[in-house]
Amino acid sequence: MEIIEMAREIGKAIQKDERFARYQVAEAISENDAELQDEIGKFNMMKMSIQQEAQKEERDDDKIAELNKDLRVLYDSIVANPKMVEYNEAKQALSELLGHINTIIEHSANGEDPSAVDLSGCGGSCSSCSGCH
Protein backbone atom coordinates (compact mmCIF):
# COMPACT_ATOMS: atom_id res chain seq x y z
CA MET A 1 0.00 0.00 0.00
CA GLU A 2 1.39 3.41 -0.91
CA ILE A 3 2.10 5.84 1.89
CA ILE A 4 -0.53 8.32 0.65
CA GLU A 5 -3.13 5.56 0.61
CA MET A 6 -2.11 4.67 4.17
CA ALA A 7 -2.65 8.31 5.16
CA ARG A 8 -6.11 8.14 3.65
CA GLU A 9 -6.80 5.03 5.73
CA ILE A 10 -5.70 6.93 8.85
CA GLY A 11 -8.09 9.70 7.84
CA LYS A 12 -10.93 7.20 7.56
CA ALA A 13 -10.03 5.73 10.95
CA ILE A 14 -10.05 9.20 12.52
CA GLN A 15 -13.54 9.79 11.14
CA LYS A 16 -14.69 6.53 12.74
CA ASP A 17 -13.20 7.43 16.12
CA GLU A 18 -15.59 8.40 18.91
CA ARG A 19 -13.62 11.61 19.55
CA PHE A 20 -14.29 12.74 16.00
CA ALA A 21 -17.98 11.90 16.31
CA ARG A 22 -18.20 13.72 19.64
CA TYR A 23 -16.58 16.80 18.13
CA GLN A 24 -18.91 16.76 15.10
CA VAL A 25 -21.99 16.57 17.33
CA ALA A 26 -20.75 19.26 19.72
CA GLU A 27 -19.87 21.57 16.83
CA ALA A 28 -23.29 21.15 15.22
CA ILE A 29 -25.10 21.72 18.51
CA SER A 30 -23.15 24.88 19.31
CA GLU A 31 -23.49 26.23 15.77
CA ASN A 32 -27.25 25.67 15.81
CA ASP A 33 -27.78 27.35 19.17
CA ALA A 34 -29.13 30.78 18.16
CA GLU A 35 -28.63 32.29 21.63
CA LEU A 36 -25.01 31.13 21.83
CA GLN A 37 -24.28 32.32 18.29
CA ASP A 38 -25.86 35.67 19.13
CA GLU A 39 -23.55 36.03 22.13
CA ILE A 40 -20.53 35.11 20.00
CA GLY A 41 -21.61 37.71 17.43
CA LYS A 42 -21.96 40.35 20.14
CA PHE A 43 -18.54 39.38 21.49
CA ASN A 44 -16.94 39.84 18.06
CA MET A 45 -18.67 43.19 17.55
CA MET A 46 -17.55 44.32 20.98
CA LYS A 47 -13.94 43.37 20.17
CA MET A 48 -14.13 45.45 17.00
CA SER A 49 -15.55 48.40 18.96
CA ILE A 50 -12.64 48.20 21.39
CA GLN A 51 -10.14 48.11 18.54
CA GLN A 52 -11.78 51.06 16.82
CA GLU A 53 -11.84 53.07 20.04
CA ALA A 54 -8.19 52.22 20.78
CA GLN A 55 -7.12 53.43 17.32
CA LYS A 56 -8.71 56.86 17.67
CA GLU A 57 -6.36 59.80 18.05
CA GLU A 58 -8.42 61.05 20.99
CA ARG A 59 -9.37 57.74 22.46
CA ASP A 60 -11.51 57.47 25.55
CA ASP A 61 -9.65 55.20 27.99
CA ASP A 62 -12.63 55.06 30.34
CA LYS A 63 -14.84 53.88 27.48
CA ILE A 64 -12.23 51.26 26.51
CA ALA A 65 -12.04 50.04 30.11
CA GLU A 66 -15.83 49.76 30.28
CA LEU A 67 -15.97 47.92 26.97
CA ASN A 68 -13.23 45.55 28.15
CA LYS A 69 -15.18 44.89 31.34
CA ASP A 70 -18.32 44.13 29.34
CA LEU A 71 -16.29 41.96 26.98
CA ARG A 72 -14.95 39.87 29.88
CA VAL A 73 -18.45 39.38 31.27
CA LEU A 74 -19.73 38.27 27.87
CA TYR A 75 -16.70 35.99 27.35
CA ASP A 76 -17.28 34.35 30.74
CA SER A 77 -20.92 33.79 29.80
CA ILE A 78 -19.95 32.19 26.48
CA VAL A 79 -17.31 29.85 27.89
CA ALA A 80 -19.60 28.82 30.75
CA ASN A 81 -22.37 27.81 28.35
CA PRO A 82 -22.68 24.00 28.64
CA LYS A 83 -22.77 23.64 24.86
CA MET A 84 -19.56 25.63 24.53
CA VAL A 85 -17.95 23.65 27.35
CA GLU A 86 -18.77 20.40 25.55
CA TYR A 87 -17.55 21.83 22.24
CA ASN A 88 -14.22 22.89 23.76
CA GLU A 89 -13.73 19.56 25.54
CA ALA A 90 -14.57 17.59 22.39
CA LYS A 91 -12.27 19.78 20.31
CA GLN A 92 -9.45 19.28 22.82
CA ALA A 93 -9.90 15.50 22.79
CA LEU A 94 -9.76 15.41 18.99
CA SER A 95 -6.73 17.72 18.99
CA GLU A 96 -4.94 15.40 21.41
CA LEU A 97 -5.65 12.42 19.15
CA LEU A 98 -4.31 14.29 16.13
CA GLY A 99 -1.30 15.42 18.15
CA HIS A 100 -0.49 11.83 19.11
CA ILE A 101 -0.79 10.71 15.51
CA ASN A 102 1.45 13.56 14.39
CA THR A 103 4.00 12.76 17.12
CA ILE A 104 4.23 9.15 15.97
CA ILE A 105 4.69 10.24 12.35
CA GLU A 106 7.31 12.88 13.22
CA HIS A 107 9.31 10.51 15.42
CA SER A 108 9.10 7.81 12.76
CA ALA A 109 10.38 10.29 10.16
CA ASN A 110 13.34 10.89 12.49
CA GLY A 111 14.16 7.19 12.48
CA GLU A 112 12.47 6.06 15.68
CA ASP A 113 10.49 2.85 15.96
CA PRO A 114 6.82 3.88 15.54
CA SER A 115 5.68 1.24 18.02
CA ALA A 116 8.09 2.59 20.66
CA VAL A 117 7.11 6.26 20.52
CA ASP A 118 6.12 7.25 24.06
CA LEU A 119 2.94 9.32 24.11
CA SER A 120 2.57 9.47 27.87
CA GLY A 121 2.97 13.04 28.90
CA CYS A 122 3.09 14.28 25.34
CA GLY A 123 0.15 16.44 24.44
CA GLY A 124 1.19 16.46 20.81
CA SER A 125 1.84 20.19 20.74
CA CYS A 126 5.50 20.93 20.17
CA SER A 127 4.92 24.66 20.70
CA SER A 128 4.65 24.17 24.46
CA CYS A 129 7.27 21.44 24.67
CA SER A 130 10.81 21.75 25.98
CA GLY A 131 11.91 18.87 23.81
CA CYS A 132 11.51 15.17 23.48
CA HIS A 133 13.55 12.74 25.52
SS (H, E, C) the chain: CCHHHHHHHHHHHHHHCHHHHHHHHHHHHHHCCHHHHHHHHHHHHHHHHHHHHHHCCCCCHHHHHHHHHHHHHHHHHHHHCHHHHHHHHHHHHHHHHHHHHHHHHHHHHCCCCHHHCCCCCCCCCHHHCCCCC
Domain locations along the chain:
1-33+82-133, 34-80
The pTM of this model reads 0.79
Task: Give pLDDT tens digits along the chain (133 positions).
Answer: 799 999 999 999 999 999 999 999 999 999 999 999 999 999 999 999 999 989 998 888 899 999 999 999 999 999 999 999 999 999 999 999 999 999 999 999 999 998 988 888 655 555 656 555 4
Predicted confidence at residue 87, as pLDDT, reads: 98
